[in-house]
Amino acid sequence: MSNPEKNKQPDTGAAVQKQINRRNFISFGTFAVLGVAAFGGWKSLYNSAIETTGITGGAHKPLRRALNKSELFFRNFFSNNHLVKTYPKSMAAKKVRQNTSIGADSKLDADNWRLQVKKLSGELLAITLDEIKALPKTELIFDFKCVEGWDQIQHWGGVRFVDFVEHFGLQPETRLNYVGMETPDKGYYIGLDMDSAMHPQTILAYEMNDMPLPVGHGAPLRLIIPVKYGIKNLKRIGSINFSNHRPHDYWAEQGYDYYSGL
């Protein structure tokens, strides 16, 4: 704004005063104009329209765009070599925190439960818990992170999603971009990008603290995905599907980031 070279020593005090007034006028004027513009910009962002609910919902339109763009940027840092920190079993919480039971609050019909997997061919797999338990078991003791802000070291056991995919011949399906999972009553549902689902620490868990899953923690089978917040760790999985389009997602419809990756 000011170039000292130009400010040759003026001859008189009056000339200096004139220059002071001029520079004050320009700088304070600019300051006021930019200040008003910034406030106006903030107001229009704060009052911007809420998106119409589709796959995502509940967020201001510009903020939703920002969430999606931020995901695209930080996706560049995603790697299967980046593993969540694991802990010794002694550090795992005995009393595991239980936040919600959305989609899993009706009585569980354990005998008739089957995991339904929709293949690309249209074939529908109905997998029993015993079939899943027959696969190699993976245990994971890690710091579970809730979108609310709390975290807790928890101990889960189950089948890695990659092992599950391989055993049931779902490799063609994993070439699609997304995995969707739903509770049997379709009350809770999540969508995952394929990379996160295929992360080596993503497991279909049937054990917690070396015991079968309690009902409140998602019996008989739940998702444990350490590269996502808890909201994506679906309890009582009823069905799994694959798609190139983003599957619907319970919390993304309510203003949360669709990806919610960690």
Q: Which residues bind other proteins (CB under 8 A)?
A: 1-2, 4, 7, 11-13, 16-17, 19-20, 23-24, 27-28, 31, 34, 38, 42, 58-60, 62-64, 66-67, 70, 74, 77-79, 82-85, 143, 145-151, 226-227, 251, 254-257, 261-262
What's the min distance (Å) between Cβ of 41 and other proteins? 10
Strands 239-243 and 115-118: parallel
Closer residue to other proteins in complex, CB, 206/258 = 258
- Rounded Cα gap, residues 116 and 241, in angstroms: 8
What's the min distance (Å) between Cβ of 251 and other proteins? 8
What's the min distance (Å) between Cβ of 30 and other proteins? 9
Closer residue to other proteins in complex, CB, 64/235 = 64
- Of 198, 174, 199, the C-alpha closest to 83 is 199
Closer residue to other proteins in complex, CB, 39/126 = 39
* One-letter amino acid for residue 23 of the chain: R
Dihedral pair phi/psi, residue 103, rounded to 5°: 80, -5
Which H or E element spans position 99? none
What are the residues facing 140 on neighbouring strands?
A: 156
Closer residue to other proteins in complex, CB, 71/131 = 71
Closer residue to other proteins in complex, CB, 11/123 = 11
Q: What does each C-alpha distance from 44 to 30, 34, 39, 57 come to in angstroms?
A: 21, 15, 9, 19
Residues whose CB is less than 8 angstroms from the CB of residue 93 and which lie 6 or more positions away in sequence, other chains included: 152, 153, 154, 155
What's the min distance (Å) between Cβ of 94 and other proteins? 18
| Strand ranges for 84-145 from DSSP E | 115-118, 124-127, 138-145
What's the min distance (Å) between Cβ of 123 and other proteins? 34
Closer residue to other proteins in complex, CB, 28/134 = 28
What's the min distance (Å) between Cβ of 234 and other proteins? 19
Compute how many other C-beta atoms are within 10 angstroms of the C-beta atom of residue 40.
Answer: 10
